[in-house]
Amino acid sequence: MIKGQQLVNALDNSEGVVFITEADGTIVFVNKTFEKVYGYNRDEVRGKKPSILKSGFHSRQFYDELWQTISAGKSWSGDMVNRTKSGEIVSEKTFISPVFSDDDSTITGYIAVKFNISERKKLKEQLEIREQLFEKLFENSPVGILILDDIKSEGEIIDFTVERANLKASVIFNRLSFIDQRLSSVMCNKNIAGLMKEHKTVQHGEEVYEWEDMCKGKVLEFKLFGLGRNKKCLLVTDISPKVKMESRLKESEARLRELNETKDKIFSIIAHDLRSPFQTIIGFASLLSDGMDSCSSTELKKMAAQISDVSEQTYKLLEDLLTWSKSQLGQLSPVPVKVNLKEIVEKVFCHLRQQADKKNISLINDISEADVAKADKDMVEFIVRNLVHNGVKFTTPGGEVRCFTEREDGYIRIRVKDTGIGIQPAKQKGIFSLSGNLSTKGTSEEAGTGLGLMLSREMVEMNNGRIAVESEPGKGSCFTVVLPEATF
C-alpha cells in the first residue's frame, strides 16, 4: 500500500499542477509544480480557496456550473484562465474530480489536476494568424497562384490537377473556375511533362522549374516548385506590360540614337553642303563683277547657267532642311484629300524638265486620270518630286524616268522607275535614313544630302502608307509608294 509521503513525492514530481481541497473548497495540499507555476508556496495557499487564482476572465455562471457539476459527484474538465501571484495569465487544461468517503456516500474533498497550455494556445493562435495571413496573401497576391496535385504515369509526372487558384490567376487566364481542371488545359494545352524536362533547375537542393511562354495573347512568367506530399505550387506573372515597356524603351532609345545621328549630319550639311554652294555663287559673282566686259556672251551664259544650277540645288536643300525642322517639331500633319496622281506627276515633271533635258532623259507619265489617292496633296508632291529628282540625278544621259501605278486591295502603288546606275545592296537597307552617305554624287556630279528620301519615308507613313525600293546595280532602281485609294 502506498504511504502518505510516497504519494506526496509522486504528486510533487508530476508535470501537472495538483491541489486537493476539503469538501467546502478549502485548499489542504498543493504540489511543487503548483508553487512553480503560480508563485505561491504551500503555506500561503493552505486554508484558502481556489478563488485566489481567479483571473477575472470567466463569468460567475462559469464557476456556478463548475461547482454544481463537482458537488453533484461528477468530474469536470475544461479550459481555465487563471492568474499567478505576480499577475501573469496562465491558460490551463483542468480536470476536477470529487473524493468520496470509504462508503462512497459522502464527498470529502476534491482533487484538481491542471496542465499549462499557454504555450500551446499561443502556438495555436500564431498558426491561426499565419493561416489568416496566408489566405490574405493568397487571395490578394499580385501574382497568380495555383496549388496543384500531381498526375503520374509510371512514376513520372505528366500533368497536374488544380486544387486551388487565387483571384489573380483567374484574371491572368480569364477563367472563373480551376477546380479539378488539368493544368495543361488551363495553359493552352501545353505539354507539362516536356516543359518540366526542359526547364528543370535545382535551387537550395530542391527542384524548381522556371520559364516564359505565350498564352491567350499574354507573355507569362512561370515558376513551379514542390510543397511536399505530391503537391506543387505554380506562380504565374503577367509580364506583358513589362515586355511592352521594354520594347518601347528600346524603340525610344533607337529613335534617340537616330535623332542624334540626324542632328549631327544636319550640322554637317549646314557646315559643308550649304556653305559650298554659296562659295560657288560668290565666286562666279566676283568673276562677273570683275571681268564682265572681257567675257564673251558664251562665257557669260555658261557662268549664269552654273549660278542657276547651284542656286536651284541650294534652294532645294533649304526646302528640305525647313521641312525636316517642321517634322522634328511635330508641325507636319497631313490633311487627307483626293489627290489626282497624274496631275501631281505632271506638275513635278514640268518643274524638273529642264534638268532632265540637260541630260537628255525622258520623263514618262503613264498614270491614269482615274488613279486618285487619299493623302495630303503637298506631301504627295514632295514625295514624287524627290523620287523623280533622284531618278534624273542617277540616270545616265539618254535614259528615262517613268511613273506608273498599280491597284492593290484599296491601295494604289505609285512606282517611279529609272534606267540609272542602281543602288548597291549594302546601301539599300538604310536608304530611307541618314545612316548612309549624305553627299552621293549624281551621274553629272549633282550634289545630294539624303534628306529627301528620309522625309519621303516619314511623309508616306504619316499618310498610312509605305515606301520601298528595288534596285540592281547597273540596271536602275524602282521606288514604290503605297497609299490608300480615295473612296470618298
Q: What is the per-residue pLDDT across 91-140, written as a single tens digit (0 to 9) for each?
A: 889 999 999 988 888 999 999 999 888 777 777 788 888 888 888 888 88
Task: Return the higher-pLDDT residue of 118 and 271.
Answer: 118
Task: Return the higher-pLDDT residue of 212 and 435.
Answer: 212
What is the pLDDT, as a whole number, of residue 148?
Answer: 93
Q: Which amino acid type is present at position 40?
A: Y
Where is average pLDDT lowest: 174-178, 194-198, 321-325? 321-325
Where is average pLDDT lowest: 17-21, 211-215, 432-436? 432-436
Helices 377-393, 341-358: axis angle to 10 degrees equals 30
- Alpha carbons 268 and 291: distance in angstroms, whole number: 34
What is the pLDDT, as a whole number, of residue 366?
Answer: 94
Partners of residue 182 on adjacent β-strands = 161
- Give residue 272's pLDDT band: very low, low, confident or very high (50, 70, 90): low
Q: What proportion of the chain, given as a percentage, has pLDDT over 70?
A: 91
Where is average pLDDT lowest: 61-75, 218-232, 246-260, 315-329? 315-329
H-type helices in 18-117, by residue range? 32-38, 42-45, 60-71
Write down the mean pLDDT value for the chain.
85
- Give residue 270's pLDDT band: very low, low, confident or very high (50, 70, 90): low
pTM (2 d.p.): 0.46
* Count of other CB atoms within 10 angstroms of residue 484: 15
With beta carbons less than 8 A apart as the criterion, state whether 476 and 417 touch.
Answer: yes
User: Is the pLDDT reported for residue 413 higher than 90?
Assistant: yes
Instruction: Kindly tell me the burial class for residue 374, based on how many C-beta atoms sit within 10 Å of its own C-beta (0-12, 13-18, 19 or more).
Output: buried
User: Is the pLDDT reported for residue 444 higher than 90?
Assistant: no
Instruction: Kindly tell me the burial class for residue 280, based on how many C-beta atoms sit within 10 Å of its own C-beta (0-12, 13-18, 19 or more).
Output: middle
Q: Strands 362-365 and 400-408: what pairing? A: parallel
488 contact partners, CB below 8 Å, separation of at least 6: 338, 374
What is the pLDDT, as a whole number, of residue 372?
Answer: 93
| CA-closest candidate to residue 378, choices 323, 298, 444 | 323
What is the pLDDT, as a whole number, of residue 438?
Answer: 45
User: Is the pLDDT reported for residue 400 higher than 90?
Assistant: yes
355 contact partners, CB below 8 Å, separation of at least 6: 389, 392
Where is average pLDDT lowest: 132-136, 235-239, 412-416? 132-136
Task: Return the higher-pLDDT residue of 432 and 291.
Answer: 432
| CA-closest candidate to residue 313, choices 392, 383, 379 | 392
Where is average pLDDT lowest: 41-55, 103-117, 154-168, 313-327? 313-327
User: Rounded to whole angstroms, what are the CA distances from 297 to 282, 356, 469?
Assistant: 20, 24, 44
Q: Mean pLDDT across the stretch 135-156?
A: 89
Q: Mean pLDDT across the stretch 349-377?
A: 91
Helix (H) or strand (E) holding 247: helix 240-268
In 251-392, DSSP assigns E strands to 337-340, 362-365, 372-375
User: Is the pLDDT reported for residue 437 higher than 50?
Assistant: no
User: Is the pLDDT reported for residue 3 higher than 60?
Assistant: no
Q: What is the DSSP string of 312-324?
A: HHHHHHHHHHHHH
How far is C-alpha 162 from the chain's CA centre?
A: 26
- Alpha carbons 301 and 327: distance in angstroms, whole number: 39
Q: What is the DSSP letter of 141?
A: -
Q: What is the CA radius of gyration of the chain?
A: 48
- Give residue 454's pLDDT band: very low, low, confident or very high (50, 70, 90): confident
User: Is the pLDDT reported for residue 448 higher than 60?
Assistant: no
In 322-433, DSSP assigns E strands to 337-340, 362-365, 372-375, 400-408, 411-418
> Which three three-digit cell numbers place residue 118?
499557454
User: Is the pLDDT reported for residue 275 higher than 60?
Assistant: yes
What is the pLDDT, as a whole number, of residue 104?
Answer: 83
- Give residue 458's pLDDT band: very low, low, confident or very high (50, 70, 90): confident
What is the pLDDT, as a whole number, of residue 257?
Answer: 83
User: Is the pLDDT reported for residue 79 higher than 80?
Assistant: yes
H-type helices in 52-203, by residue range? 60-71, 118-140, 167-173, 183-186, 192-198
- Give residue 274's pLDDT band: very low, low, confident or very high (50, 70, 90): low
